[in-house]
Amino acid sequence: MNIIHRRGWEIPDRFITPEHLAFSRRSLLAGAASTLALAPGAASAQRVTDVAKLPDPSADLYPAKRNEKYTLDRPITDEKVNGNYNNFYEFGTAKTIAAAAQVLAIRPWTLKIDGMVEKPMEVGIDDLIRKLTLEERTYRHRCVEAWGMAIAWTGFPFAKLVELARPLGSAQYVRMETFMDPKMAPGQRQPWYPWPYVEGVTMGEATNELAFLVTGAYGHPLARQHGAPLRLALPWKYGFKSIKSIVRFSFTDKRPKGMWEALQPSEYGFWANVNPQVPHPRWSQASEEIIGTGERKPTLLFNGYSEYVADLYKGLDSERLWA
């Protein structure tokens, strides 16, 4: 079984890594191989030094100009704190995966854009980044596990990628996929997760001005543990929607099923909008722990972004919008 790290706040110990614990039974059935698979060996340590010392070819684009429109009601989380408290199951189920994630090979990195588009294409991450103008935005981030942070992301609007992709009128959703490389990512050797990590949004959500494709944070290229070289930030939704290390965008008329939804649909759904009044089946969402300060703050509807996104959900009352 995986080790549960104690956190000093009010969620009982047994709920500390709830996204994981939803499947503890499955993991138990699969046996003790899980812990062994995650132990870093000498070979992987060698790869860490090889991969992590390569210069980032996009480094000259940072820091990007801050877009002052998106303001925060709290200080930006310290970079060291943020960079050492991550959720990236490809590299382990604990929050301390930063060291393990340094084996992630972020170049070359090719994005596939396919499905209901005028012409499917493949584009290298550096070609893409240099076609667009990067900007910095400060956003709140709220995990479904009832904790929050604030981050200075660098990236570009998702709408710009949609424009480039030229979707057909029939496209209703964008399905996104994370890399698949079990040799590199020990978590992907745990067969009870339906890898690769998948997430999806509606076209309306993808083109909402808040939907942000992230290439950097804290004024430099994105650290591997945050999902380099390209991840999503959807600040009004629970964090599991913000898929990391994306390799594929597929335009489709079928609602995509995310990895968490595939595993536990009663707890993790398609919409996953933040709402203090709708508890997770196993804990309250009324307040959140601010990572780094230990403070507790009341959860905000849509994580405080109602003015930007509430209209997206008008007339969808029959949908399970909040989980």
Binding partner of 86, given Mo ion, ligand MTE, none, CB within 5-8 angstroms per partner class = ligand MTE
Window 199 to 218, contacts with ligand MTE (CB under 6 A): none
Closest residue to Mo ion: CB criterion:
143
Nearest residue (CB) to ligand MTE, 79 versus 114? 79
Nearest residue (CB) to ligand MTE, 116 versus 246? 246
Binding partner of 197, given ligand MTE, Mo ion, none, CB within 5-8 angstroms per partner class = ligand MTE
Nearest residue (CB) to ligand MTE, 89 versus 251? 89
Which one of the spans 69-77, 78-86, 231-239, 252-260 is the region binding Mo ion (CB under 5 A)?
231-239
Closest residue to ligand MTE: CB criterion:
239
Window 167 to 186, contacts with ligand MTE (CB under 6 A): 178
- Contact between 270 and ligand MTE by CB under 6 A: the answer reads no
How many angstroms separate the first and last alpha carbons of the chain?
Answer: 27
Nearest residue (CB) to ligand MTE, 216 versus 239? 239
Window 228 to 257, contacts with ligand MTE (CB under 6 A): 239-240, 242-245
- State the minimum distance, in angstroms, from the CB of residue 118 to ligand MTE: 28
- Closest C-alpha to 144, from 308, 56, 264, 293: 264
- Contact between 18 and Mo ion by CB under 5 A: the answer reads no
Half-sphere exposure of 114 (CA within 13 A, CB side): 7
Distance, in Å, from the CA atom of 134 to the CA atom of 216, rounded to the nearest integer, reads 9
Structural contact between residues 147 and 285, judged by C-beta atoms closer than 8 angstroms: no
Tell me the longest C-alpha to C-alpha distance in the chain: 55
Which one of the spans 118-126, 182-190, 238-246, 249-257 is the region binding Mo ion (CB under 5 A)?
238-246
Binding partner of 178, given Mo ion, ligand MTE, none, CB within 5-8 angstroms per partner class = ligand MTE
Window 84 to 113, contacts with ligand MTE (CB under 6 A): 86-90
Nearest residue (CB) to Mo ion, 91 versus 240? 240
- Contact between 323 and Mo ion by CB under 5 A: the answer reads no
- Contact between 138 and ligand MTE by CB under 6 A: the answer reads no
Q: What ranges make up the beta strands (E) of the chain?
A: 110-115, 121-124, 135-143, 147-157, 173-178, 198-202, 212-217, 220-221, 231-233, 246-252, 287-290, 296-298
Among 143, 210, 222, 274, binds Mo ion (CB under 5 A): 143
Half-sphere exposure of 47 (CA within 13 A, CB side): 16
Distance, in Å, from the CA atom of 132 to the CA atom of 179, rounded to the nearest integer, reads 23
Among 139, 197, 218, 270, binds ligand MTE (CB under 6 A): 197
Nearest residue (CB) to ligand MTE, 116 versus 136? 136
- Closest C-alpha to 178, from 259, 110, 106, 246: 246
Among 137, 226, 237, 248, binds ligand MTE (CB under 6 A): 226
Which residues are bridge partners to 248 per DSSP? 112, 177
Which residues are bridge partners to 288 per DSSP? 297
- State the minimum distance, in angstroms, from the CB of residue 97 to ligand MTE: 8
Which residues are bridge partners to 258 per DSSP? none
Distances (CA, A) of 143 to 31, 78, 133, 236, 270: 28, 17, 28, 10, 15
Q: List, in order, residues 6 or more apart from 55 with CB less than 8 Å away.
A: none
Residues at the contact surface with ligand MTE, assessed by CB under 6 A = 19, 86-90, 141, 143, 178, 197, 226-227, 239-240, 242-245
